[in-house]
Structure 1
Amino acid sequence: MSPLLSGPAPRWFSIPAHRPFVQDLARGLFDALTPLGPEALSQAVVLTPTRRGARSLADAFVAAGGGRAVLPPQIRPLGDLDEGEPPFEPGDLAVDLPAAIGSLQRRFELVALVKAHEKALNRDLDAPAALELADALGGFLDSLQIEEVSPDKGLAELVEADLAEHWKVSREFLEMALDAWPRRLRELGLVDVSQRRVALLQSLADKWRTDPPKGVLIAAGSTGTAPATAELLKVIAEAPQGAVVLPGLDEALADKAWAEVDEQHPQGAMKRLLTRASLTRAQVTPWPGSKLYDSQGRWRRRVINEALRPAKATADWLDAIETLRAEGKADGVDPIAEGLGGLSLVTARTEDEAAAVAALLLREALEVPGRTAALVAPEQSLARRVQAKLARWDVCADSSAGYPLGGAPPGVLAGLLARLLVDPLDPVALLAVLKHPFVRLGLDPDSLAVDRIGLEAKALRGARRRSWAELEGLCEPPALDLLQRLQAALAPLLTVGHGRPAATARALTETLEALCARPEGGTGPLWSGHEGECLARLLAGLIEESDGLPDTSPRAFAELFQRLMDGETVRAGGATHPRLRILGAIEARLTRADILIVAGLEEGVWPKGAPIDPFLSRPMRAKIGLPPPERRVGLAAHDFAQAACAPEVVLLHTERRDGAPAIKSRWLWRLEALAKDAGVAIPGRPDVLAWARALDAAGDYAPAKRPAPVPPLEHRPRKMAVTRVEALTRDPYAVWARDILKLYPLQRPDEAIDARARGTAIHAAFETFAKDHPREVPDDGAAIFEALYLAALRAEGMPEEALARESALAREAAEWVMDLERERRADGRTLFVEVYGEHTLKVGDRAFTVTAKADRIERDPSGFGHILDYKTGAAPSKKQVETGFSPQLTLTAAILAKGGFRAVGPASPGDLTYVEVTGRKPAGRVEVRAAAGPESEDAAFKALEGLAELIARYDDPAQPYRSRTAPQFVKAYVSDYDHLARVFEWRASGEDGEGE
C-alpha cells in the first residue's frame, strides 16, 4: 500500500486554489503509485466531476510521466452515470432500475401534463407557453430529485394566509403534477435522469459501504453539492485505499470568518460537505503533490480569499491587511502586492471590445512556444464572439460552450421554413431560403445562381406580392421554372394548418429534403455532421414522441420549434489549437493554463441572477427543503476564486452590455476595494486594450471630396425628360450615375409602401377617371375615384391591413377631387391625360431633345393649355420654379408652346398648376405657379433658355457632373445616389459648395 493512503480513514485532502489541480493530482498519484509496480497506477480509479476534467487529468498523467509511456488510472466522470461505464453500472446496480427518459421525450410529456391541468392554473395555454411552463416544472422536479426532498407534507402547508392567491394556485397545480408525473413514468416504464442518477449514486454508496473496493479509489474536484454525491464522497474517503481531494479549501480563513460562511460564500459548498461528513478543516490534509513552495501563488490565494470573505467579516479588512503584511515580513515581501502580481484587470467598453481583448490575449500566448492560454467564460455568447474574433487569424480554440442549433446552417434553414410556415409569401425569407448554401432544388449551383438572380429581380424585390399566381405572372423562363420548383418543394408546408405538431414536423422534414435535393441524388450535408445529426434528432423526436403536445397553429408551431432549437446545443469536434481552450466555469475548476482570461465579470453574468420560478416563492422553497438561490451564487464564487488564483490571470470586465450600463461583479468590486484599502493598484493591460481598439479602427480622418466625374462627351445624354433636367440642375451626379452609367436603384425585398406608391396610385386614379369620364362628372364620381385609388394602391402592393387607414384618406380626397373636377370642367375644356411631348433645340452645333409626359393638359375654349401635375406631398415653391430648380412645369409649357404635344396641338401655355392631394384637412390644395397669359409664356421661354445654357455647359468636355450643386434645397431634394456619392462624408467635412 502506498504511504499516501496508508493513514487512517477517512482520508480527505485539498489542493490549494493557486495550484494547478489536475497537474498536482496526477503528480501526487504518479509519485505515490508507480513505485509499487507498473500496474499500480493503471488499476486505480479516479472520479472527476466532468468529462472534460477527465480528459485534462489524462493529459496531466502523460506530463507527469516526463514523456515516458504511462498507463493512466481508470478515469471516470462522476456526472455521466447514465453512460453505463464501470464502476457505476455493473449489472447488479442497474438491474432493478428502469431506463432514463430521453430529454426531448420528457419535455413533450411534461407539456402534455401541463396542458392537461391548465384549468388548475387558470390559463389557456398554446404549445409554446405550455413548453415554457413544462421546462420550469422539469427544473422543479429535478431539484426535488437531486436534493432528495419529499414535499408531500410541506406542500399541504405551503401557502399561508398572507400570501397572494396565485401561490395557492401554484401549490394545487404542483400537488397534481407530483401525483400525475410518477404515474405517467410508470406507464412508460421509465424514470427521470436525475432520479436514476441519484438512485445509482445511492446504490453505489451502499455497495461500497458494505463491500468497499480494495484498490485505489480517488474522488477529485467535486464539492458534493448534491446529497447523494456528498454521501458517496464520504464512503470513498472511508474505503481501504480511498481518498477525496477537494478543490481549493481555504484552511487559512480565520475561524471567526469561517463561522460566518454562508450559501453565497465560495467556501459554502465545502463547509456544507465537511459538516455532512462530520469533519473540521483541520482534518483535511494538503495533497502531497501540492507541497511545492510558491510564494506568489500562496499570497494570491490569501488575497482572493480575504476579498471574498463573508460580508459580516469585511469589517475586519484593515486588521486582515495588517495581519497579512505581518506574515509577509518573514518573506521580506508585501503580501498584497505580491499576491496581485501576475493579476491584471481590463475594462472594455462593450461586449465586442471585450471579445477582441480576449481573442488578442489568446493570440498573444501563441507567440511564445509551448505557452498555453484559456478563456473562462460563464456565458456562451462571449465564447462564440471570441471564436469569431480568433477566426481572423485562422485559429480555432477548443471550446466546450458549443452553439445553439438555431445558429448552425441546418438550423438556420429549418428556422426559415418555420418562418415561411407563418407567412409563405415573405420575400425576405424566400430569398434567404434560395440563397442558403444547402439549397439546390435539383439544380447545379451555377444554374441555380443564374435563375435565382432573375427570380429575385423580377418577383422578390419591391412590394410584397399577395399570391403565387401573382409571382408567376411577373416571371419568365428560366426564373419561372425556379419559382415553380420552389413552390413544389414548399408544397408540404403550404398545406399545413392547425393540427398535430408531428404532422407539421413531418411536412417540415419533407420540405427540407426537397429543397436540398441534388441533381446527382441525396441531400448533401443536410443531415451530416454534428449539426445535421442534432437537427435530425430534434425532428425525429417531434415526429415520434410529441403525441402529448396540443395541436398547434402554424404560428404556434414556428415559435415552439424555435424554442426547441434554441435549447439544443451543438458541440462539434474538429481540428482545434492544442494550446488554446475556452472553458466553462466548472471546467476551469480543474484545468489550468499559463495565462487565464476570466471574463464576464458583471452582475447578472457571473454570478447569474436568480432564475424566476413561476411555481414557488423563496419562502415556499425553503419550507419544502429546497436550497435557496444563493447556493448557486456560492458555487459560482468558488469557481471564480479558483480561476482568479491562477499564476497569470487577466480579469475582464465590460462597462456596457446590450447597450445598457453594466454593474461590476460583486467579487471584482470587493477585490478592488481590498486593494484600494491596502494602497495597492491592480495593474491593467493598456497595451492589449489599445490593440483591441486599433484592430478594426478606421484610419486617419480623410473625408472624400465632393465627387465630380467627367465622362467623355460622346457618353453624355442628348435626350432627357424634364424630370431628369431637374436632376441635372440639382444633382448632376445622379444624372451621371443613372443616365450615363445606367445604375438603377434596386428595390428592397418586401419594400414598404411609401409616398412614392401613393403618388403612383393618385396618378393612376386621375388618369383612369379622366379617360372613363372625359366630359361630365357622374353623381357617384367620388365613390368611383375612391375605388380607383384603392385599387391602384393594391396594385402597388399595399397590404389590406394598411388600406384601412388609406380608405379614410381616400374618402376625404375623393370628395375634394370631385369638387375640383366639376369646377375645372365647367367651361367645357378638353382633357388630355398622361400625354407625351418633345421638343428638339439646337445647342451650339448639336441637337438636344427634351421630353415630357404631362399628368394632365386641359385645353380650354380660349386656346390655352393648362398644365396640371399631381402631388401627394408638398409641391415645389414658386421660388424654386422661377429660379429653374424645379423646371418640370415650365419646360412642359415650353414644349406645349412649340407644338411638341401632337395629341394636344399648338396651344398657348395656360396656368401651370400643382394639385396637392393629401386626404387630410384640407383634403387637397391647388397651387398655381404661373398664370395663363404673359406670365406663363415668359416662364416657359425662360426655362427653355435656361435649358440651352445648362446643356451648353455640359457640352464642355471639362465640365464635371458634381454631386448636389443646389445645397440650399438639400432638405427638399433626396437622391437615390446620395450614398454612392458619399454625400454625408464630404458635407460633414464642410465642402458644401456654393451651387452653380
Structure 2
Amino acid sequence: MNEPFLAAPPPRWFTIPAHRPFVTDLAKGLYDALAPGGPEALSDAIVLTPTRRAARALSEAFVEVAGGRPVLLPQIRALGDLDEGEPPFEPGDLALDLPPAISPWRRRFELARLAADHAPALGRSLDAVQALELADALAAFLDSVQIEEAGDLDRLDGWVESELARHWKISADFLRLATQAWPERLEELGLIDLTARRVALLRLLAERWRDTPPEGVLVAAGSTGTAPATADLLRVIAAAPKGCVVLPGLDQDLADKAWDKVDEQHPQGAMKRLLARAGIDRRAVRSFSAPAPGDARGRWRRRIVNEALRPAEATADWLDQIRQLKSEGAAAGVDPIVAGLDGLCLVRARAEEEAAAVAALALREALETPGRTAALICPDQDLARRISARLARWGVTADSSAGSPLAGQPVGALLGLMTRAVVDPLDPVLMLALLKHPLTRLGLEPEALAARVLVLERYGLRGTRPRNLAVIARRMASPVDSDGVPGRRRKALDDADRLLARLQRILAQAGEAYTGGDATPGEAARALVQAVEALAEGPEDGDLGALWSGPAGEAAASLMAALIDESDGLPETTPTQFAELVETLLDGETVRGGAGAHPRLKILGTLEARMVRADLLVLAGLEEGVWPAPAPTDPFLSRPMRAAAGLPPPERRIGLSAHDFAQAASAGEVLLLTCERRGGAPAVASRWLWRLQTLARGAGVAIPGREDLLAWARALDAPIASPPQHLRAAPRPRPTPPLSARPVELPVTGVERWVRDPYAVYAGRILKFRTLERPGEPVDARIRGTAIHAAFEAFAEAHPDVLPAEAESLFAGLLVEALVEAGAPEGRLPREAALAANVAPWVIEFERRRRPGAKLLIEQQGRHSFKTGRGEFTVTAKADRIEHRGHCADILDFKTGAPPSKKQMESGLSPQLTLTAAILHFGGFQGMGETLPGELVYVAVSGGRTPGREEIRARLDESLNLALAAYEGLRKRVERFEDEATPYVSWAAPQFIDSHGGDFDHLARLWEWHVIGEGEAEGGGE
C-alpha cells in the first residue's frame, strides 16, 4: 500500500490486482501496518476469509512475511462460502438465540422421506436411491432460496406462468407440498435448516458490528459477496471505524462502456453486483498492494486477460484497445502484448491421458528447483486424480483439496462388497473379494488366512458358480492330491471349510435384517456394520485393525452412524436397493487427507485458487463443458420461474468460474492445458482460450507453447525405436525339450491341437501345466457342450432300442438336468429350458432316422499304437457315439458350436474324426475288431432358430482313405518331433488364431510377437 490502509475515512474498499499473490500481499500489508504497534495490534485484528483453506494459506503467508520470526497471528476466521457449504464465523453468543442446525446427513435423509411422501404429486413412487436423488435436488432448491432470501415460498403459484409446459405446473405443485411440510418437520425436531441458520448468523453478525463495531482492525478479504447476506456484511465491515474489504482482482482498467456491459457470465459480474449493492463506485476502490519491482510484466498480463474476457458486446473496439495498449507500452519501452504473454504458455494434448502426463511433467519440472512451488488448478476431479497418479510414479504426493471418493478407499470397497454379498452370498467372486480384502482378518493371522483362502479358492470356488453350499462341499471332498501328503491336505481342506462356514454365517447374519421382507436402512446399516466388523476382527477380541481409522475410516464410520441413527426418513429397502443406496452414498463422500504430501505442491479447486498462488500454476481442464461447466439445470424451476422467484440465473456460476480463471491466468508463470478429445469424442477448447488467442492474433503474436513437454509426455511410455539387444522383445518361443520329455501318447483332440498349436502340447503335456477355471466360470459353449454330451449319453443308455412316447420331454428334461449339474445359474434356466424344448423334437427325429439297423456304442474308448524310431507312439480316442452297422460303423461327434469344415478335415487341420476312424479300422475299439469306417458325422446342436444340423463330412466310400491319410500324417509328425531340433512353436497355423484361441497363448506371448510382425506360418514348426 502507498499509505496506511486505515488512513482514509470509511467506507474502505480495496482490491489486490489479479497478477499479485493475494494472501502474500494481504499478509504483508497487515503486518507492515500493524506490527510496529506491538504484537497485540496484530493479534487483536480480525481477518475474515472465504474458506478455511484460504485461512490456512493466510496463516502461512504471515509466517513468510515475518521472515521466520515469531509472530502473533490475527484472528483469522472463515467467513463461510454459502455456495460451497462452509460454516460461517460464529463470534460470541450470536448463535444462542438460534435453534441448532440439522446435521447434513439428517437433513438429507429427512428430505428423502419428504420427497418419497410427496412423490405421488409427480405421478411416481420412489425407492431409497431415487428418493435420495430427489432430496438432493430439493435441498439445492431450498439452499438457493434461503441464500438469495427469495421471499415467501407460499407464492409458488405466481412463479408459474400460464404459457409454460404442464410439467412445470406439476413441479410447482410438488414444491408447494414439500416446502410446506419441511418447515413443519424442522419445527417438530426443534432444529433449523443449515443454510437458513448461516444466513441468520450473517445477518446477526452484520447487525452487531453495525451497532457495536469491534475495537480492533476488521478485514474481510477474498470474498465477492455473491450471497445478499454476505454482501451486506461486507458493507458493514467496510464502514466500520477500523474496517476494510479487500476484493480479489477487481478490474479497474476496464473501460466504462465495457463495465456497463458486464453481466452474470463476466468475471467481474459478482463484484459489480457487490459494489452496486454497497453503493460504491468502482473508481473509489483503491489498490491494497504497493508497487513492486518487476511488477510490469504482471500488470500487462492482467490487462491482456481482462481485455480478452471483456463482455462480448464490448469487443467491437478490440483493435482500438490493442493500439491503446501498444501506445501505453511504447511509453515504457515494451510491447505490452509480448510482455503480457511472457510466462504464459498453451499446450494442446490429444486426450486426457496425455494431458495428465503433460501436467505431471510440468509440476515435476518445477519441483526440481529448490524452493520453487507449483500448483494445479483443475475443476475436473477425474483429470486431477489422473495427474496425481502420474505424480505418484515419481513418489510425489500432492496436497489435493478434491480428495478422493470414499468408494475407492479400502473401507468403502469393503462396505460395498459386503452389501453385494448379502444380495448374492454364493457368488464366488464376491466371496473371494471379501476374503482377500486387506482389512479382512476373521480372527486369524494374515499368513493363516491367506493359506486357507488359497485352498478354498482352488478346490471350492473355481469353476462354475455353485448352486448351494453342498456343491462346494462336494468339490472339496476329493480334490487332486498335489503334494502327496493326504493328512496335511485333509487338514488344509478342513480349515478352508471352517473359513467358508464362518463367512457364510456372517453373511447370513447380515441378511437377518430382511427376515420379515424389506428392512429400514437403519436396520440394514446396523447389520452391515456388524458384518464388516466380524470380517475385520483380529485374533484378539475387539481388535478391528484399521477398519475405522484414518480419514477414510472416520468418513465411513460417520456415514454408517448417520444411516443407523438418522435415516428414519428413508423408505424401506430390499437387499439390492440397500446395496445401491450404500454405493451411491459411498460415491458421494469425499476423503481428504494431506498426510505425506509434498510441501511445495498443491492441487486446488477453482475457489481456493482465488487466494493461493504458486511459482507455477497449471490450469487444466480448459474445455467447454469442463471449465466453464455448463449452466446447471434446475429440475424444479424453469428460467422464467427462477426470475419470478428472485433467484439468480444459472449463468451466474459461469461468471464466478470466469473470475477464478482470470485470477489464475494473471499469475507470473502459467501453463494453460486443454485436450483435443475427451472421452473419445472431439472437445472444444474453453471460450476463454479462444478469446485469449483471438486477442493475441489481433496483435500479430501467438501464445507460446511447450512442445518439449508434449514430446516428453509422448516419449514417456513410447516403445524404444531401436532398443539395445538386452531391451528388445523376446522372439517367438521355440522350445526344444529333450526327446525323453516328449509325449509318446496323445488323444485325437490333442493331435488336432498339436497340428494347430504345438506350443499348447508342450505346455500341457511336457510342462504339465493345467488351466485353472475362473471363479464363477460362466456357462459358456464348453460347458453347454458337456451338458449336450451328457444328455445324449443318458438318453441312449436309458432307451437303447425303442424310443418312448414322451421321448421329447424326456430328452429336454435330461438336457436341463445336465445343465443344472454343470452349474447353469438359476436365472438362465428358463432360457435353457426353452432351448431344450426347441431342440428336443429335432433330436428325437434324428434318433428315429439313424437308429434303425445300428447298434449304439456311447462314449467308447479306443487306442492304437505304432512303432517309431524311439519306440512306440499311442493315439487314443473317445468317440461320442459309434453306430455299428455290421459291415461298417459310423462315427458321430456332437458339437454346440460350428464344426470343422470338410476342407479342414481333408487338409489334416482337424483330424479328430479321421484319426478316430483309423483307430476303428485297426481294431482299436474293444469288442469291435477291425471295422470299416462308415460315415464321419458332426452333429451340431444349438436349440436356436435352427435347432440342430447333421453334417456328414465323409461317407463310406471315402472315409477309409481319409482315415489312412490322417494316420500317415500322424506318423510323419511323430517322426519329425523325434528330432530334438524340431521346436514346439506357438500357432503353426496362425490363420486360426481368432477362431481357436488357446489356453496357453499368454505363456507363448502370442499377441506380442504376432502383432510386431512375426506371425507368419513357420514350416520349421511342422
**Range of TM-score over shorter length:** over 0.9
Q: Indicate the residue corresponding to 1:880 in structure 2.
A: 904
Q: Give, in whole Å, the separation in 2 of the partners of 1:922 and 1:111.
A: 52
Q: Indicate the residue corresponding to 1:605 in structure 2.
A: 626
In the alignment, structure 1 residue 797 sits paired with structure 2 residue 823: yes
- Work out which of the residue numbers 942, 957, 965 in structure 1 matches 2:988: 965
Distance change (3 Å), C-alpha of 1:80 and 1:89: farther
Q: Indicate the residue corresponding to 2:92 in structure 1.
A: 90
- Work out which of the residue numbers 999, 1006, 1017 in structure 2 matches 1:976: 999
Q: Give, in whole Å, the separation in 1 of the partners of 2:927 and 2:446.
A: 52
- 2:606 touches 2:657 (CA, 8 Å); kept in 1? yes
In the alignment, structure 1 residue 865 sits paired with structure 2 residue 885: no
Distance change (3 Å), C-alpha of 1:281 and 1:484: same
Q: Give, in whole Å, the separation in 2 of the partners of 1:506 and 1:244.
A: 50
- Work out which of the residue numbers 492, 496, 500 in structure 2 matches 1:483: 500
Q: CA deviation at 1:293?
A: 5.8
- 2:425 touches 2:504 (CA, 8 Å); kept in 1? no
Distance change (3 Å), C-alpha of 1:556 and 1:970: closer
Unaligned runs of 5+ in 2: 478-492, 723-727
Matches within 5 A, 1:520-559: 520-521=540-541, 522-559=543-580
Q: Indicate the residue corresponding to 2:766 in structure 1.
A: 740
In the alignment, structure 1 residue 895 sits paired with structure 2 residue 931: no
Distance change (3 Å), C-alpha of 1:623 and 1:602: same
Aligned-residue RMSD, C-alpha? 2.1
Percent same amino acid at aligned positions? 60
- 1:15 touches 1:290 (CA, 8 Å); kept in 2? no
Q: Indicate the residue corresponding to 1:949 in structure 2.
A: 972
Q: Indicate the residue corresponding to 2:481 in structure 1.
A: none
In the alignment, structure 1 residue 580 sits paired with structure 2 residue 601: yes
Distance change (3 Å), C-alpha of 1:86 and 1:765: closer
**Secondary structure, counterpart of 2:761 in structure 1:** helix
In the alignment, structure 1 residue 813 sits paired with structure 2 residue 839: yes
**Secondary structure, counterpart of 1:235 in structure 2:** helix
Q: Indicate the residue corresponding to 1:768 in structure 2.
A: 794
Matches within 5 A, 1:417-436: 417-436=418-437
Q: 2:935 corresponds to which letter in structure 1?
A: D
Matches within 5 A, 1:513-912: 513-521=533-541, 522-700=543-721, 705-827=731-853, 829-860=854-885, 862-912=886-936
User: Residue by residue, what CA displacement relative to the aligned partner does 1:783-813 show, whole Å, maximum 9, x if unpaired?
Assistant: 2111111221222222344344433432342
Q: CA deviation at 1:971?
A: 5.7
Q: Which stretch shifts more, 314-323 or 789-798?
A: 789-798
**Secondary structure, counterpart of 1:612 in structure 2:** coil
User: Residue by residue, what CA displacement relative to the aligned partner does 1:312-336 show, whole Å, maximum 9, x if unpaired?
Assistant: 0011111111111111111111111
Q: Give, in whole Å, the separation in 2 of the partners of 1:803 and 1:547.
A: 39
Q: Give, in whole Å, the separation in 2 of the partners of 1:653 and 1:115.
A: 42
**Secondary structure, counterpart of 2:1000 in structure 1:** coil
Q: 1:462 corresponds to which letter in structure 2?
A: G
In the alignment, structure 1 residue 936 sits paired with structure 2 residue 959: yes
**Secondary structure, counterpart of 2:720 in structure 1:** coil
Q: Indicate the residue corresponding to 1:222 in structure 2.
A: 223
TM-score (norm 1): 0.96
**Secondary structure, counterpart of 1:46 in structure 2:** strand
Q: Which stretch shifts more, 575-584 or 978-987?
A: 978-987
Q: CA deviation at 1:358?
A: 1.4
Q: CA deviation at 1:72?
A: 1.8
TM-score (norm 2): 0.94
- Work out which of the residue numbers 477, 500, 510 in structure 2 matches 1:493: 510
- 1:441 touches 1:489 (CA, 8 Å); kept in 2? no
Q: CA deviation at 1:990?
A: 5.2
**Secondary structure, counterpart of 1:849 in structure 2:** strand
Q: Give, in whole Å, the separation in 1 of the partners of 2:81 and 2:96.
A: 18
- 1:397 touches 1:582 (CA, 8 Å); kept in 2? yes
Q: Indicate the residue corresponding to 2:124 in structure 1.
A: 123
Q: CA deviation at 1:567?
A: 1.9
Q: CA deviation at 1:893?
A: 2.1
- 2:159 touches 2:642 (CA, 8 Å); kept in 1? no
Q: Give, in whole Å, the separation in 2 of the partners of 1:664 and 1:302.
A: 22
Q: CA deviation at 1:641?
A: 0.3
Distance change (3 Å), C-alpha of 1:917 and 1:172: closer
Distance change (3 Å), C-alpha of 1:301 and 1:453: same
Distance change (3 Å), C-alpha of 1:830 and 1:433: same
**Secondary structure, counterpart of 2:878 in structure 1:** strand
**Secondary structure, counterpart of 1:831 in structure 2:** strand
Q: 1:309 corresponds to which letter in structure 2?
A: R
Q: Give, in whole Å, the separation in 2 of the partners of 1:149 and 1:877.
A: 77
Distance change (3 Å), C-alpha of 1:637 and 1:871: same
Q: Give, in whole Å, the separation in 2 of the partners of 1:385 and 1:773.
A: 65
Q: Indicate the residue corresponding to 2:484 in structure 1.
A: none
Q: Indicate the residue corresponding to 1:36 in structure 2.
A: 37
User: Residue by residue, what CA displacement relative to the aligned partner does 1:22-48 show, whole Å, maximum 9, x if unpaired?
Assistant: 111111111111222232112111111
- 1:209 touches 1:235 (CA, 8 Å); kept in 2? yes
User: Residue by residue, what CA displacement relative to the aligned partner does 1:80-122 show, whole Å, maximum 9, x if unpaired?
Assistant: 899999973312x111111111100000110111112122222
Q: Which stretch shifts more, 113-122 or 533-542?
A: 113-122
Q: Indicate the residue corresponding to 2:483 in structure 1.
A: none
The number of equivalent residue pairs is: 991
- 1:111 touches 1:131 (CA, 8 Å); kept in 2? yes
Q: CA deviation at 1:612?
A: 2.2
Q: CA deviation at 1:431?
A: 2.1
Q: 1:8 corresponds to which letter in structure 2?
A: P
Q: Which stretch shifts more, 887-896 or 767-776?
A: 887-896
Q: 1:89 corresponds to which letter in structure 2?
A: P
Q: Give, in whole Å, the separation in 2 of the partners of 1:540 and 1:967.
A: 60
Q: CA deviation at 1:202?
A: 0.8
Q: Indicate the residue corresponding to 1:244 in structure 2.
A: 245
Q: Give, in whole Å, the separation in 1 of the partners of 2:955 and 2:119.
A: 75
Unaligned runs of 5+ in 1: none
Distance change (3 Å), C-alpha of 1:602 and 1:86: closer
- 2:870 touches 2:978 (CA, 8 Å); kept in 1? no
Q: Indicate the residue corresponding to 2:277 in structure 1.
A: 276
Q: Give, in whole Å, the separation in 2 of the partners of 1:972 and 1:437.
A: 39
Q: Which stretch shifts more, 943-952 or 367-376?
A: 943-952
In the alignment, structure 1 residue 503 sits paired with structure 2 residue 505: no
Q: Give, in whole Å, the separation in 2 of the partners of 1:334 and 1:440.
A: 68
- 2:414 touches 2:437 (CA, 8 Å); kept in 1? yes
Q: Indicate the residue corresponding to 1:14 in structure 2.
A: 15
Q: Give, in whole Å, the separation in 1 of the partners of 2:179 and 2:906.
A: 84
Q: Give, in whole Å, the separation in 1 of the partners of 2:392 and 2:806.
A: 69
